[in-house]
Amino acid sequence: MGHDSKLRRLATRAGAPFADVIFEEVLVSRSEEREQYQIRAYFDGLRVAAELDLTDDCYDLKTMVGLLNTVARQLNTNQRFAPVATNDEAAWIVFGPEPALQEIVSEGLLRVSTGEHSHAHG
């Protein structure tokens, strides 16, 4: 699906704290009805994983952002990622210091996706 390559691109843009993080997407189970994938991040001797919601042919932005923010907390950096709410299938993810993101959201300068439209085409 390519979630791991998208995660690498986002992490690279976020800079030094994420420089040594390795991402992968893994098929964890397969049945006649569906395949189940995980995205994983490896860093500092740790592995963080999250199950992807692949109910359609789109990227699972909510899970990707959640994994990136979990990694950020574990790395003890205040960088955070947030999916921007859009009215179409475009995928916009911003990152920056958590206090700055919270401020621009509270001032109404940025609308963060709440998850009901958490999938986007690549």
Residues with Cβ < 8 Å from 50, sequence gap 6 or more? 38, 39, 40, 63, 66, 67, 70
Per-residue pLDDT of the chain in tens (122 residues, 90 and over written 9)? 689 999 999 999 999 999 999 999 999 999 888 889 999 999 999 999 999 988 766 788 899 999 999 999 999 999 999 999 888 777 789 999 999 999 999 999 988 886 544 455 44
Q: Which two tokens stand for residue 34?
A: 């569906």
Start-to-end Cα distance in the chain: 9
